[in-house]
Chains A and B, each alone.
Chain A
Amino acid sequence: GENVEQHPSTLSVQEGDSAVIKCTYSDSASNYFPWYKQELGKRPQLIIDIRSNVGEKKDQRIAVTLNKTAKHFSLHITETQPEDSAVYFCAARADRGSTLGRLYFGRGTQLTVWP
C-alpha cells in the first residue's frame, strides 16, 4: 500500500520567517494530497489540498507544491505568525480497490513559531 513520509518531525522558526514541510509518497496512483493543521487539543482541520493535475496551489500565506515525477509534495508557510504553531499532517489518497476513500497520513510536523 501507500507509504507517506514527512519531514521534519519538529520545526522552530522566528515570527515572520518562512516554514517548509516536505512529504514523499510511494504509490504513483495517488492523486489527491491534503494538508491538515491540528492545534493543541483540537481536531485536525484541512488547510489546503492539491490534486495530481495541478503543480502548485496558493491560499494567502500558505502554498502547496507537487512534483509527481519525484513523488513529493511540500507545504510552504510565509510570514509565519505565532498562531501558525500546530502539528501539520500531510496525506495522500488513491481511489482504487480496497483503499477506496482512505487517506494515508504522514506522522506529522510540530511547528513552533517564536514571537
Chain B
Amino acid sequence: DVKVTQSSRYLVKRTGEKVFLECVQDMDHENMFWYRQDPGLGLRLIYFSYDVKMKEKGDIPEGYSVSREKKERFSLILESASTNQTSMYLCASGGPLRTSRMTQHFGDGTRLSIL
C-alpha cells in the first residue's frame, strides 16, 4: 500500500520564522506535489517536482520554496512565515501517466498555524 508521510500533523510557528514541512513517499514515485487547502478554495498547487533536484512552480508559489535532494523526499519551505500562510498543507506523490502507478496519493496533511 502506498504511503505518503508528512512529518507533522499540527505545527505552530511565529511570524518571521523559517518553517520546514517534510514529506516522504515509499513508492519510488517520480512526481511529488505540495498543495495548500483552504475552505472554499479547494486544493491549490504550490510547487511540484518530477525528478530529483527539479522543481516547477504551481499556482501560488509566492512565499514558498522547495527542495528535492532525494527521490523519496520533498520539502516545503516557508522562508519567512506570515499569518496568511496559516493553512492545511498536503503533500502528494504519483507516477507517470499510462502506468499502474499514475494515481496521485496524498499524505494526511499538516495543519500549520502562524501566530
Contacts and interface: CB of A to CB of B under 8 A. Distances in A.
A89 B45 CA distance: 14
A43 B45 contact: no
A79 interface: no
- The secondary-structure label for the interface of chain B is loop
B50 interface: yes
Interface in B81-115: 90, 94, 96-97, 102-109
B74 interface: no
Contact of A101 (B30, B41, B43, B105): B30
Interface range, B side: 20 to 34
Contact of A107 (B41, B94, B106): B41
A89 B48 contact: no
B91 to A, nearest CB: 10
Interface of B: 30-31, 33, 40-43, 45, 48, 50, 56, 58, 90, 94, 96-97, 102-109
The 4 tightest CB contacts between A and B, nearest first, are A101-B31, A107-B42, A43-B106, A105-B43
